[in-house]
């Protein structure tokens, strides 16, 4: 049934794609128009990039899921939660690295900053998305 399909396939895809779109678009928007630093923890991140990434993640997910005749409203909310919580997770992991005095969180994935650098957003966003799904779906 389509309800089980949502939880087995669509929900993880929406979560992962939302984080990926947010990260990518935050970088692009921040590079183009970013002027206001978001945090001293991660000085290259800007408020403009952060907002642009989150907005574009929500818009892309909403349009894509609507075009696929899915529940685009819930998916857009999930994208917003993933973008916000994912950014917080990324900042938190950056803060931990600074406190530890390291640039990368490990050597498991060379060239990508380590395991936590690749999955910090997902690790923080997942419980918040799960809570939303539990309470509202």
User: Structural domain boundaries of the chain?
Assistant: 2-136
Structure confidence at residue 108 (pLDDT): 53
pLDDT tens-place string over residues 14-44: 999 999 999 999 999 999 999 999 988 888 8
Helix axes 72-100, 11-33, angle to 10 degrees: 60
Long-range contacts of 71-74 (CB under 8 A, 24+ apart): 71/6, 74/136, 74/137
Give the pLDDT band (50/70/90) at residue 112. very low
- Listing DSSP states for 55-69 in one string gives HHHHHHHHHHHHHTT
- Residue written as token pair 């949502």: 6
Whether pTM exceeds 0.75: yes
């Amino acid at each position: 049934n389509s309800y089980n399909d949502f939880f087995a396939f669509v929900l993880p895809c929406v979560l992962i794609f939302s984080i990926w779109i947010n990260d990518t678009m935050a970088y692009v928007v921040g590079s183009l128009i970013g002027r206001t630093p978001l945090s001293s923890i991660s000085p290259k991140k800007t408020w403009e990039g952060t907002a642009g990434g989150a907005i574009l993640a929500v818009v892309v997910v909403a349009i894509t899921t609507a075009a696929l005749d899915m529940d685009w409203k819930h998916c857009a909310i999930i994208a917003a939660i993933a973008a916000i919580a994912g950014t917080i997770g990324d900042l938190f992991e950056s803060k931990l690295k600074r406190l530890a005095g390291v640039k990368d969180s490990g050597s498991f994935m060379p060239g990508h900053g380590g395991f936590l650098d690749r999955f910090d957003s997902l690790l923080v966003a997942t419980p918040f998305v799960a809570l939303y799904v539990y309470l509202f779906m």
